[in-house]
Each structure stands twice: as structure tokens, then as C-alpha cells.
Chains A and B, each alone.
Chain A
Amino acid sequence: MQSPRHIISILLENESGALSRVAGLFSARGYNIEAMTVAPTHDPSISRMTVVTRGSEEIMEQVLKQLNKLVEVIRVHDLTDGPHIERELMLIKVHAVGPDREEVKRLADIFRGRIIDVTDRSYTIELTGTGEKLDAFLSALDPGMVIEVVRSGASAIARGSRSI
């Protein structure tokens, strides 16, 4: 059985090297990383990182403690502990010729995707949602049609009015 999925939010100093410390920690200690995103927050001296990982409860306890131990890490929070919203952006380029053009457009509409670039042989679609929704869209497409996929990795935030 696969271990449960966790989304971890990390606030860290926006300094060169901080990112590789976090990445290095995961690889050195053998923790799993499914996705990792990072960008500055509204306070430009602080970055926010979102890591999607899997692990047992004991492993997650260590992951959080080890992250907290990094000198540049300001705060760590496991969003999966409470209600939260998760979004991922996918850009997907598909072959679209003849009858497929209509079909792809319909599918994109169903998933609330937007076609953001068009050529006579392809569409590029922008789609936002949970990882599951993006997976579902991908599996709804004929794999032969897919030219290229770019996914951002998850961003997530807790519900309610408080920050982490």
C-alpha cells in the first residue's frame, strides 16, 4: 500500500542556497518528493515552498523536524493536517486536426480548461485544479494526441482566515 500523501508548506529565507538545502535534505535522508515548487511571497525576503511527499506518520514527523532544523527555514506546516485548497497548473499541447479539433475543445470545456495557443495542427490548453483533476484530463485524452505536458507541481493553502 502506498503511504499517505502530504502537502508541506515551508516559509524560508529568500536566499541562494536555501532551496538546495531543502532539496538536499530530502535526498540525503531518502524522503520521497513528488513535487516541489518555490517562489517569493508578498514579503520579498521570504520564499514559500510547497513540497508534495509521501510517508508514514513516523517519517512525516522526522520530515517536519528536519525541515525545522534547517537554519534558513522559518516555518513548516503540513497542510494535509487540516482543510486546505490545492491547485496545480498544467499546460498541455495536443495534436488537433480534423474532427479532433472539436473533440479536444469540448473536452477542455468540460474540464474548464482554456485554449491559449492555436495552430492549424495543435492546441495548447491551460488547466488548473487538483492533481487528480489534471490526471483525469490527461487520461481522457487519447495518449497519441499529447505532444507536450508541463505541470507546475502543487500550490496549496489552508482554508480559513489564518496564515501558517
Chain B
Amino acid sequence: MTGLQTTMDRSSAELEQEISGAEIVVRALRDEGVEFVFGYPGGAVLYIYDELAKQEELKHILVRHEQAAVHAADAYARATGRVGVALVTSGPGATNAVTGIATAYMDSVPLVIITGQVPVALIGNDAFQEVDTVGITRPCTKHNFLVKDVADLANTLKTAFFLAASGRPGPVLVDIPKDITVKRCAYRYPDKVQLRSYKPTVKGHAGQVRKAVQLIASAERPMFYTGGGIILGNAAEALTGFVRHLGAPITNTLMGLGGFPASDPQFLGMLGMHGTFEANMAVQHSDVLIALGARFDDRVTGNLEAFAPHARIVHVDVDPSSISKNVKVDVPIVGDLAMVLAEMDQAWREGGYRLDPAALKAWWEQIAAWRARDCLRYEQGDSIIKPQYVVQKLHELTGGDAIVTSDVGQHQMWAAQFYGFDAPRRWINSGGLGTMGYGLPAAMGAQLADPERTVICITGEGSIQMNIQELSTCLQHRLPIKVACLNNHYLGMVRQWQEFFYESRYAMSYVDALPDFVKLAEAYGHVGLRADRPADVEPVIREALRLKDRLVFMDFQVDPTENVYPMVPAGAALSDMILL
């Protein structure tokens, strides 16, 4: 009798502690310290939404398209360094999210994406709104999970956050069948996860670090080539200190901009297809190339056979598979950059090394001669607005202090070339996948991450229309983004390729029937401003910045035939640049 009593007591106590899968999801996100969930509801996630609505700590940002939810979470992650979170329903919710997931995957952005799924018993049945989400996203996630037992849910979410943020970051997807969100179990969120099959290397091998430092010290024409890994690994400060101490030149990839201050004289600008003359020439003529958190992308190296032909190469990356993938390197170091840079700095100072001053002086003289080409020059007359001028003015009038997001195309390259980034996490763009439609939702994530800072979305009339519906989200959540549309009436980057490589046959690159963006902005409840002539540019930007708490859509009617220079044609050697 007593025995029975006890058992009943215990089981009722257990029952009290049991919570639903949906509650577990919300509790886990809160325990993870998540601020925002970017999402869009639907049948399979309704229990989760029900729980979200019962609390206030965790804020939900309702987007207008699931792609935008993932881009916004992605930009939030890029702006803060924390894990971004998106929540979408099964079937079309999940497939709409795929472009966002692939974008984050290519740029190594830490995300957790929660997708609803049909109930476990219906999986594989072609049930309503069923897709094989785990199958579809397997090649574009760092890892993904299908949760088939509510008892695994909390652990799986913890593991997802751990995987997303550690090692080489990336998006991790957790697919949760609807019945799992109803089933109940006791909740315990683990503090730590240990996986026997996953142990990223953090510290650089001491012997390799020593070799790297010796090689750098032997250089006559050293060149730093640094990438997104510096930003992702929060190593900008360590990098800046080390490079300044050495006095060597440095270039950044598109993803690495802001990793070293653009206004520093040691910075030669971006390298690669639309890199500066001096950066590309310096890489090509270097005798020691120090690649840090960069992955020798084909937009950077051009023809691999002809890439940096005289250089011995040091390469530091947290992902061993980035090393010697495209270019065979001499001193590979696997590790986390913040750590490895500290090790290198220490080894350099302790070894009493310095670069040969005479050689370095000659090297800088050579670089100065390349710089004198002034490869980014353009002329702003009085009748037609040059897109470069708009970006330069944006930089000037924001004091170079804004977060700039961009879409994909010529405007993206001008933003990268002309908005000098002096700090990391200020430049947010889709480099690896090159996703048009990224810019506006990215600006939402960035604005939420940093509400006090000016956030500018530099876009084109083509790209902005790929996620224009998010203007509605911006109104609902009062996001005072400044959209700067470099409206050239062309899919300009396509037009440029057609001009250069398809004998000026402009197949389908002219964008006819454009909307009136000023009216469109107004229809969404925002402010629209239009600049037709060069003299309008500054007043329009000033007005937009004055309207601190409003979203302002600036429509700059720019030169339709302007091209991005320099340009290395795809597959050519980095030194074979088309210059103005």
C-alpha cells in the first residue's frame, strides 16, 4: 500500500515536470540565450508558435518569405558573431528556406534552422506538405537532424548550436515532426556536448607556427592575404596588431573586408576578379604569401597555374579541407585564427625577428608605383550619376561607420571597393553563393542586431525585387534601414559580361517595366527619395540620414553603362586585368 503510494507520488511529480516538445524548443532557445527567431508559421510548427506567443523574452520576427527569414538570421549572426535562428514550416516553408541555407553554408555562417515536419508516422507517405527536408538540405548544411523521439529534442538542439558555432561555422538544421512537438518529456538542457566524431583543432601546431614565422622573416616581398576566417574567428584585432608590427602589405578577400582597417596605408584594397591593381600585382609578385582564413576561391586566384608563381605560401585555416584544396601550400597550419595569430605574434617577438628593412623599402616602392595607376578612378561629371560616387558619398556622410549590406552584382563590387571598412562585421554580403535578394533581409537582421547604428542596404533594381516584400516586415518591426538602390536599369553585372565576352549582345539584361520605387516605398509605408542628377546625391543621402527612425528608399538613377574595373576575366591570370 505504502509502496504503491510512493510510486504514484513519484510518477505524478514526473508528470508535472514533463513538458511538450514545443515547450522544449522554446525553453532550449531561451537557455541558449537566443534574442530573435526569424520565421514564418505553418501547420507543422503551430504548436511551437503557440508556445512562442506565451512568452516575451524570445522575440519573433515575422518575415514575408522564408528565404528572408534565413537571410535575416544569417546577417544577425554576421553582425554579432552569435548563432542566428530561423523557424519555418514543413514542405514549401523548408524549400523556400533552402536558398538562405545554401547562402549561409557557402559563407560559413553559424545558424540553427528549425523546420517543421509531418508527423513521424506519415514520413515517407507523400503526406500534405511533406518534403525530405533532411535529404534536400544535406549538401548545404554543416549537419542536419531529424528528431524522431521527444527525449532527444533538447540534446539535439544543444548539439545543433554547438556544431553551428564551433570549428568552421555553418548552418545546422533540425527537422521536427509535428507529433514530436506535442509529445511530452522532462526537460534538461545540457551544459556541454561531447561528440567522439567531431573535435575541431583550435591551437596551431607549435612547430608549424615556428616554421611559418621563419619563412615570413625570410621574405623580401611578403604579402598578407586574409579572408572571412578573420571575421568569423574574431581575429581582426590580432591580425591588425601583427601586420602593423611587421609593416607588410595586406589585401582582403571580399569576405575579409574590415578584417584590417581599409584606411590604413598598409592596406592595398581587395584582391581578385574585381580587386585593385596593386593588390593583385603584389600577390603575383610576392615571395611569401600569408593566407589567413581565406579559401583560394576561383574569384580570387584566377588561373591557378599562374597564381602567385614566385610565392612560398603559409596557410592558416580551421578547416583542414580548405588547405591545399586549390593551391598547394608550403606551411599549412590548422587552427583557430585568434589563437594561431597570438602564437605567431609571440613566436615572432620571442625570436626577435624582423623583415629586412632594405627589401621591405624596395617592395613598398614597387607597390607605390602600382598604386599610382589609380585603378579605381572614375570621373563624376554634372549630368549622369556615377554609382561609385554614390558609394563614396555614403561613406563620407556616415563617417564610414555604418553597417553595409549588399545584394549581388556591380553595386556589390562598388560597395566593396568604395566603402572603406575599418572594422569587422560591418560589411555583410553573399560572396560564395552570390545570392541576389540577400541585401534587404540581411539589413533587417543587422538592424536588429545593432539598433543604434545606421544600416545601409546597397542594392540594384534587379536584386531588390527578389525580396522587395520585406519592406512590409521593416514597417511592422520599425526597422529604419536606408536602402540605396544603384538603379542602372540593367542586370548590370550580366550586361558587363555580355559587353566584354559576348560581343555586346545584351540578351535579356535590360530591366524593362521597372516600378516607381519612390511610390513603391510609400505604398509600403516608408519614405522614397529619388536622385536623378549628381547634385541630388548628397541632399538625398542627408535627408535619408536625417529621418533617423524611418526606412528610406533612395533610388539613384545611375549611369546604365558603367562597368566595374579592374576586372580579371574568369580563368585569366590575376595579373591580366582589364583596366579602365
Partners in one complex: yes
List residues of chain A with CB under 8 Å of any chain B CB. Answer: 12-13, 17, 20-21, 24, 28, 58, 61-62, 65-66, 68-69, 71-74
CB-CB under 8 A from A58, the residues of chain B are 324, 328
Interface residues as binary, B150-165 with A (CB distance below 8 Å gives 1, 0 otherwise): 0000000000000100
What 0/1 readout, one digit per residue, does chain B (184-228) give for beta carbons within 8 Å of chain A? 000000000001111000000000000000000000000000000
Query: What 6 additional pairs, Cβ within 8 angstroms, besides A20-B135, A61-B324, A68-B320?
Result: A28-B139, A58-B328, A71-B142, A71-B195, A71-B198, A72-B197
Cα(A20)–Cα(B142), bound, Å: 14
Task: Mark out the residues of chain B between 131 and 155 whose CB falls within 8 Å of any chain A CB in the assembled complex.
Answer: 134-135, 138-139, 142-143, 146
Q: Complex Cα distance A62/B321, Å?
A: 6
Most chain B CB within 10 A, of A17, A28, A74, is at A17
In the assembly, what is the distance between CA of A58 and CA of B321, in Å?
Answer: 11
Q: Is the CB of B138 within 8 A of A24?
A: yes
The answer to whether A17 and B134 touch across the interface, beta carbons within 8 angstroms, is yes
Contacts of B320 in A (CB 8 A): 65, 68-69
Question: Is A71 a contact partner of B143 (Cβ separation < 8 A)?
Answer: yes
One of A24, A61, A72 near B139 (C-beta < 8 A): A24
Nearest-neighbour CB distance to chain B for A69, whole angstroms, equals: 6
On chain B, the residues within 8 Å of A72 by CB distance are 197
Known A-B contacts A28-B139, A61-B324; the reply to A74 vs B196 at CB < 8 A is yes
Q: In the complex, which residue of chain B has the Cβ closest to the Cβ of A68?
A: B320
Of B143, B195, B198, B321, the contact of A66 (CB 8 Å cutoff)? B321
Q: What are 14 of the A-B contact pairs (CB < 8 Å)?
A: A13-B197, A17-B134, A17-B138, A17-B146, A21-B138, A24-B138, A62-B325, A65-B320, A68-B320, A69-B319, A69-B320, A71-B142, A71-B195, A74-B197
CA distance A69 to B67 in the complex (A): 27
Residues of B within 8 A of A17 (CB): 134, 138, 146
How many residue pairs, one in A and one in B, have C-beta atoms under 8 Å apart? 34
B69 vs chain A, min Cβ distance (A): 24
CB-contact partner of B163 in A20, A65, A71, under 8 A: A71
The residue that B197 contacts in the complex, of A28, A66, A71, with Cβ under 8 A, is A71
Q: 0/1 per residue, B319-343, Cβ < 8 Å to A?
A: 1110011001000000000000000
Once A65-B320, A65-B321, A66-B321 are accepted as A-B contacts, the answer to whether A20 and B197 lie under 8 Å apart by CB is: no
> How many angstroms from the CA of A60 to the CA of B385 in the assembled complex?
52
Q: In the complex, which residues of chain B have a beta carbon less than 8 angstroms from the beta carbon of A21?
A: 138
B138 close to A20 (CB less than 8 A): yes
CA A10 to CA B138, docked complex, whole Å: 19
Residues of B with C-beta under 8 A to A73: 197
Report the nearest A residue to B163, measured CB to CB. A71
Which residues does chain B contribute within 8 Å of A65, judged by CB atoms?
A: 320-321
Give chain A residues whose Cβ lies under 8 Å from the Cβ of B321.
62, 65-66, 68-69
Kindly report which residue of chain B lies nearest to residue A16, judged by CB atoms. B146
- Residue of B139, B143, B197, B198 ringed by the most chain A CB atoms within 10 A: B197
Q: How far apart are the CA atoms of A71 and B163 in the complex, in Å?
A: 9
Q: Which parts of B366-402 form the interface with A (CB within 8 Å)?
A: none
Residues of B within 8 A of A12 (CB): 197
Name the CB-closest residue of B to A71.
Answer: B143
Residues of B contacting A20 in the complex (Cβ-Cβ under 8 angstroms):
135, 138
CA distance A74 to B135 in the complex (A): 21
CB-CB under 8 A from A28, the residues of chain B are: 139
What is the chain B residue whose CB lies nearest that of A25?
B139
Once bound together, how far apart are the Cα atoms of A14 and B142, in whole Å? Answer: 19
> How far apart sit A15 and B195, CA to CA, in the bound complex (Å)?
14
A8 CA to B324 CA in the complex, in Å?
20
Measured CB to CB, the nearest residue on chain A to B144 is A17
Chain A residues positioned under 8 Å from B163 (CB to CB): 71
Give the CA-CA distance A23 to B457 in the complex, in Å. 40
Which B residue sits closest to A28, measured CB to CB?
B139
A114 to chain B, nearest CB (A): 39
Chain B residues within 8 Å of A69, by CB: 319-321
**Cα A24 to Cα B143 with chains together (Å):** 13
- State how many angstroms separate the Cβ of B184 from the closest Cβ of chain A: 24
Question: A74–B196 Cα gap in the complex (Å)?
Answer: 7
Q: How far in angstroms is the closest Cβ of chain B from A63? A: 10
Measured in the bound complex, the distance between the Cα atoms of B328 and A58 in whole Å is 9
Q: What are the residues of chain B within 8 A of A66 when measuring CB–CB?
A: 321
Shortest distance from the beta carbon of A47 to any chain B beta carbon, whole Å: 12
On chain A, the residues within 8 Å of B142 by CB distance are 71
Note all chain A residues with C-beta closer than 8 A to B325: 62
A24 to B141, CA, bound (A): 13
Residue from A20, A24, A69, A71 with most neighbouring chain B CB atoms (10 Å): A71
User: Of all chain A residues, which has the CB nearest B139?
Assistant: A28
A71: B residues at CB distance < 8 A? 142-143, 163, 195, 197-198
A74 to B197, CA, bound (A): 4
Residues of A with C-beta under 8 A to B198 = 71
Residues of A within 8 A of B135 (CB): 20
**Whose C-beta in chain B lies nearest to the C-beta of A45?**
B196
Shortest CB-to-CB span from B567 to chain A, Å, is 29
Q: In the assembly, what is the distance between CA of A12 and CA of B320, in Å?
A: 19
Closest Cβ–Cβ distance, residue A135 to chain B (whole Å):
34
Give the complex CA separation of A62 and B322 in angstroms: 9
Question: In whole angstroms, what is the CA distance A68 to B321 when docked?
Answer: 9
B196: nearest chain-A partner, CB-CB: A74
Docked Cα-Cα span, A20 to B196, in Å, equals 20
A59 to chain B, nearest CB (A): 10
Q: Report the nearest A residue to B325, measured CB to CB.
A: A62
Chain A residues with CB under 8 Å of B324's CB are 58, 61
Chain A residue nearest to B319 in the complex (CB): A69
Chain A residues whose CB sits within 8 angstroms of the CB of B195 once the complex forms: 71
Q: What CA separation (Å) do A74 and B199 show in the bound complex? A: 10
User: What does the 1/0 interface line of B102-146 toward A look like (CB < 8 Å)?
Assistant: 000000000000000000000000000000001100110011001
